[in-house]
Structure 1
Amino acid sequence: MDQDKLQRICKDKGFIAALDQSGGSTPKALAVYGIKENEYNGNDEMFAKVHAMRTRIIKSPAFNSKYILGAILFENTMDRTVDGELTADYLWNKKQILSFLKVDKGLAELEDGVQCMKPIPQLDDLLKRALKRNIFGTKMRSVIKKFNPIGIKKIVKQQFEIGKQIAAAGLVPIIEPEIDINSKNRAESERVLKEEMLKELALLSKDEKIMLKLTIPEVDDFYSDLINAQHNIIRVVALSGGFSRDVANEKLARNKGLIASFSRALAEGLSVQQSDEEFNAVLSDSIKQIYTASIT
């Protein structure tokens, strides 16, 4: 593992930009950006449109290493180029920003109050490709919809099993067991989730490094023991989870050491119709707000 990159993610201030909308969520992301579904035909044109959107974000002067530590990419984005360089190479060479790859294939059906990940076929091959493209880490998402200890344990077990496989390949996995912000008894789900994660963390070897991506907790600083006490945890980051950017930032700022990994909240207010000057100004304001909430 590249020690310069490891030190950057461990020690530097900033947050993770999530630019990993996949096939299912891409039409919605494009619609919010101002591109309707009748403006493209098929997946090829759709992915070309969303890559153009991501490229505009990545190339913006506002998108820089002073504020941003890493960017989470969709597989299609990893395989594309920005100004003639593979996306991850452009991000590191031009911006000193690390790249993470979304590796999950979506969510399974709801069972025991949760949605585990669907199987990830040929994961080893994908990880080899990611290494060749200078990807630093990965991300994979599950969702807890209802308080159910059996389901929560199942999600954590699946996440850590695959996380160990990813770590063995030489990448840093971001483990993301999201808790739906609209679920009842969310604080109880958070309590069981942390208990189960602490059990799995105790089984990791000292060389197995991971990151956690969690819903901003109901109780401020609830995850402080994970942030401060576990040598296996490189960083704990938070998803915006459906909160508006202002609400997500306000909640995040009350949790010391927890940094953002926002997607929708990051792109809030951006539009294909904006001039570059307008676009960069909106993005700059968004990035600075999220950064400020991440370093409190």
Structure 2
Amino acid sequence: MNSNHFEKMKNGKGFIAALDQSGGSTPKALAAYGITEDAYNSEDEMFDLVHEMRTRIITSPAFSSERILGAILFEQTMDREIDGQYTADYLAGKGIVPFLKVDKGLAEKENGVQLMKPIHDLDETLRRANERNIFGTKMRSVIHEPNEDGIKEVADQQFDIGKRIIEAGLIPIIEPEVNIHNENKEKSEELLKAEIAKHLDKLSENENVMLKLTIPTKADLYKELAEHPRVVRVVALSGGYSREEANEKLKKNNGLIASFSRALTAELNVEQSDEEFNKTLQEAVDTIYDASVNKE
């Protein structure tokens, strides 16, 4: 494990950029960027276009380690290059810690939650992640209602896989998202916090995780989790909130920094000049940074 990356993630000021749109979400990401589905004829062309979009973001002067601690990549992005370097190495050269999305999407809803689909090639993916100098991983489940059995299943699955990731020498980002449209969101978050705490208390001194959680309804709900000795950092997903709303909610939560995707890139467009693009990205980066480091 890279000790400099660990120190940056533990104590650095800034946030994590989520650039990990996968096969299912890529068309939406491209459409938001101004590239409609009639602009490509195959999945390969689609992934070429989204890599061009990510490359434009990552190489922008606005995308710097002054504000951004880390970036989460889609698996295919790990094997692609930026300016002759593998993406993770390019990021590290800018002082930004590389993470990799390892889940294969969500299973059907059951017991009020969506578990992760089986990750049959996890060991091989982790081996390749180490080869590509990836620091940590991310995997997402979703909680739709406060079903105790379902939430326990989500936490159990996340930490079971998380331990395998730790054994491979990487830091797992545990991401049990609570859907922002959950009618009993606050209750779901309380149940989730209790389950996470149980698992954290079972980790040994050399087992560390990060947590990626929906910004809670009750401010500072996750402050105790952020202070747990086995937690490197707690980051917050925007979850469908606008950037302005996500930032306002984030400011009320001590111990949380952003890990935004749509809220970071929503105003970027393929037709923008480089000057317009960089200015728009810089404005987004600055506001998300401010919400991550300046708390009410």
TM over 0.5: yes
Identity percentage of aligned residues: 62
- Which residue does the alignment assign to 2:70? 70
1:125 Cα deviation after fit: 0.6
- Which residue does the alignment assign to 2:258? 260
- Which residue does the alignment assign to 2:17? 17
The letter of the residue matching 1:214 is L
1:122 Cα deviation after fit: 1.5
Segments of structure 2 that go 5 or more residues without pairing to the other structure are: none
How far apart, in 2, do the equivalents of 1:135 and 1:2 lie?
A: 9
- Which residue does the alignment assign to 1:39? 39
Q: TM-score, normalised by structure 1?
A: 0.99
Q: TM-score, normalised by structure 2?
A: 0.99
- Which residue does the alignment assign to 2:179? 180
How far apart, in 2, do the equivalents of 1:61 and 1:2 lie?
A: 25
Q: Deviations over 1:69-111 (max 9, x none)?
A: 0000000111100000000000001x10011000000000000
Instruction: Note if contact 1:163-1:173 (Cα within 8 Å) is conserved in structure 2.
Output: yes
- Which residue does the alignment assign to 1:84? 84
Aligned-partner SS, 2:195: helix
Aligned-partner SS, 2:58: helix
How far apart, in 1, do the equivalents of 2:42 and 2:151 lie?
A: 37
Aligned-partner SS, 1:202: helix
- Which residue does the alignment assign to 1:156? 155
- Which residue does the alignment assign to 1:110? 109
- For 1:114-125, list aligned pairs within 5 A: 114-125=113-124
- For 1:118-267, list aligned pairs within 5 A: 118-228=117-227, 230-267=228-265
Matched, 1:274 2:269: no
How far apart, in 2, do the equivalents of 1:4 and 1:58 lie?
A: 20
1:268 Cα deviation after fit: 1.4
Instruction: Note if contact 1:239-1:261 (Cα within 8 Å) is conserved in structure 2.
Output: yes
1:202 Cα deviation after fit: 1.0
Aligned-partner SS, 1:143: strand
Aligned-partner SS, 2:258: strand
- Which residue does the alignment assign to 1:3? 3
Aligned length: 294
1:39 Cα deviation after fit: 0.3
How far apart, in 2, do the equivalents of 1:117 and 1:191 lie?
A: 21
Instruction: Note if contact 1:147-1:184 (Cα within 8 Å) is conserved in structure 2.
Output: no
Supply the RMSD in Å over aligned alpha carbons: 0.5
The letter of the residue matching 1:112 is N
Aligned-partner SS, 1:170: coil
How far apart, in 2, do the equivalents of 1:40 and 1:232 lie?
A: 45
1:42 Cα deviation after fit: 1.1
How far apart, in 2, do the equivalents of 1:174 and 1:114 lie?
A: 19
1:49 Cα deviation after fit: 0.2
- Which residue does the alignment assign to 1:51? 51
1:257 Cα deviation after fit: 1.8
Q: Post-superposition, which runs of at least 4 consecutive aligned residues in structure 1 deviate over 6 A?
A: none
The letter of the residue matching 2:128 is R
Q: Deviations over 1:172-196 (max 9, x none)?
A: 0000000000011111001100000
1:256 Cα deviation after fit: 1.2
How far apart, in 1, do the equivalents of 2:278 and 2:222 lie?
A: 34
How far apart, in 2, do the equivalents of 1:214 and 1:265 lie?
A: 15
Comparing 81-90 with 5-14, which one deviates more in the overlay? 5-14
1:133 Cα deviation after fit: 0.2
